[in-house]
Chain A
Amino acid sequence: MPGIDECLLEAMRLPGALGASVVDWTSGLALGTVGDAPGGDHETTAAEAAELARLAAEHRAFAPDEEIGWEGKEPPVEDLIVSNRDTYHLLRFVATTFDSSVFLHLWLARSDGNLALARIRLGEMAGRLVLG
């Protein structure tokens, strides 16, 4: 039964992992953090990542076709990938049976990170975090 910290530490074992956090995208709150953050500030990073996640989660353009009346149980978007010259950011939405707006944020070094592997693992972790 993993809690937030176990989940984040597991994410940090992925190759190239620099930092990880669990963030609420409505408020921008970092519910848990581990490792480094861009600029050294997890709270600012969480607030900025939350803005991006919110736009992706709330705009119809990114929802699958059949999603018309999403009621907050199942996020319409699975994940978001942002890449820059030296790192990747992977944001994975967490589906919960309670009302929430939470995602996992993994920051990966591009030199030794494996984006495909990270995407699969982070999806599994998101499931285990709430299902136990």
Chain B
Amino acid sequence: MTVISTPPPPLPVRRKPNGPIGPAGTTGSVAPGGPADAAGQVGADGCADGRAGSTGPAGLTGSADPIGSAGPGSPGRAAAPGLSPMLHRLAAERATGVLLREHGTLYLSEGRIVHAESPETPGLDVLLTTGGLLHPDAWREAVAQAGARRRVGRYLVDHGRISEGSLELCHVAAVFDAAYFVLGASGEPARFRYGAVHWLGAVRPVPVAALERETLRRRELLHRIWPDPATDSAPLARAELPAGPPVTARQGAVLDQVDGVRTAADISHVLGRPAFHTLVDLRRLVAAGIVRAAPPRAAEPEDPSHGPPAPDPHHPQQSGAIVDPVSALLAQPAADPGIALLRRLRDALEAL
């Protein structure tokens, strides 16, 4: 999230008079119980969510999966009761406030989602300003003028900065986009602040059930294109292909930003494009063998300036204690397209 989108007015935190977690408390495996504490926060949702257990502890390597990768074919999919038991309860009690999770926040108004933000994806301000639809100054002015009244969206439309349709299209896209990341596997407990209202104001509220269905559908969509989520979060590099297959215009825009350093989130920011769109294009580029996760920077001795041994694929054993010839072969730079294909096959099989 950029600097601009940090909420200017302080979020009011209001106490709910009684135990906010209602009768639905029995459904989840975590029962927060007890009335709201003095800070108005109610905890405990996160760890039990989704399939955090199956993805292992966070912070393994760069390829740690932020979104949970249980595939559509896996039995866990049908058994999943929902992405967040806490969100279900909040929807049922028509709560208003903000749900804070590891990968972002969901704002609810009377049980429906009115806004979502995640550091994994560009905010509404980036989406609106990147293509030139809205000048950044106009955005800042709207936030300054109408932020305290929590009517920034309305202000932009009423002052003719953008059309109602443009605001709705961008905002709904941004909400589903951010929610996809917010509802991903989380290693931290979620919290809910009753009464918090986002300064943008309601645009097109989305039912919680629709948001969850869409998030699950998006996971399946990505999995169907290419099952390995490594490129969702890792720095990206081009695969060394002799002659790359043709790419579409939107994929080409993504590919132009792949430089060995940028991640999907970085690229989305540069393009002013919802991050899920970037993930879709990246998985297609990976499936086509055009893009891969950049290798870790540890392999310094392989630097070509050190001399000729690296490019020779016939003597992989020279580099030291290589265990088996297949791994050695696959560890070579992809000079031969056949090897590149083998490597992709291996990656795909491992990811299944």
Chain A interface (Cβ < 8 Å from any Cβ of B): 1-4, 6-7, 22, 24, 26-29, 31-32, 43, 47, 58-60, 69-73, 76, 94, 96-102, 128-132
Contact = CB atoms under 8 A, between A and B. Distances in A.
A102 B131 contact: no
Given A1-B157, A24-B173, A27-B176, A101 B277 contact: yes
A6 B133 CA distance: 21
A28 B165 contact: no
B217 A28 contact: yes
B29 interface: no
B146 to A, nearest CB: 17
Interface stretch (B47-55, B61-69, B234-242, B268-276): B268-276
A4 B170 contact: no
Q: Which 7 pairs, one residue from A and one from B, show the smallest C-beta to C-beta distance?
A: A132-B163, A129-B165, A58-B248, A3-B164, A97-B133, A98-B131, A70-B249
Contacts of B218: 27
Contact of B249 (A7, A69, A130): A69
B280 interface: yes
Contacts of B221: 27-28, 47
Interface centre among A1, A7, A43, A131 (most CB of B within 10 A): A1
A13 to B, nearest CB: 17
A98 B163 contact: no
Given A29-B176, A70-B249, A98 B133 contact: yes
Contact of B131 (A43, A76, A99): A99
Interface residues of B, number: 40
A55 to B, nearest CB: 10
A31 B217 CA distance: 15
A102 B169 contact: yes
B130 A98 contact: yes
Nearest to B249: A70
B83 interface: no
Main SS at interface, chain B: helix
Interface of B: 127-128, 130-133, 157, 160, 162-170, 172-173, 176, 204, 210, 213-214, 217-218, 221, 246, 248-250, 253, 271-274, 276-277, 280-281
Contact of B173 (A31, A131, A132): A31
A21 to B, nearest CB: 12
A47 B280 CA distance: 14
A6 to B, nearest CB: 8
A98 B166 contact: yes
B248 A4 contact: no
Contacts of A29: 172-173, 176, 214
Contacts of B213: 43
A10 to B, nearest CB: 12
Contact of B273 (A1, A58, A99): A99
Given A2-B164, A100-B173, A132-B165, 13 more contacts: A4-B172, A6-B164, A27-B274, A32-B172, A43-B210, A43-B214, A58-B248, A71-B249, A98-B170, A99-B130, A129-B163, A132-B163, A132-B164
Contact of B169 (A22, A27, A43, A76): A22
A130 B250 contact: no
Given A43-B217, A99-B273, A130 B130 contact: no
Contacts of A22: 169
Contacts of B163: 1-2, 129-132
Interface centre among B169, B213, B276 (most CB of A within 10 A): B169
Contacts of B281: 26
B132 to A, nearest CB: 6
Nearest to B221: A28
B204 to A, nearest CB: 7
Contact of A27 (B170, B253, B280): B280
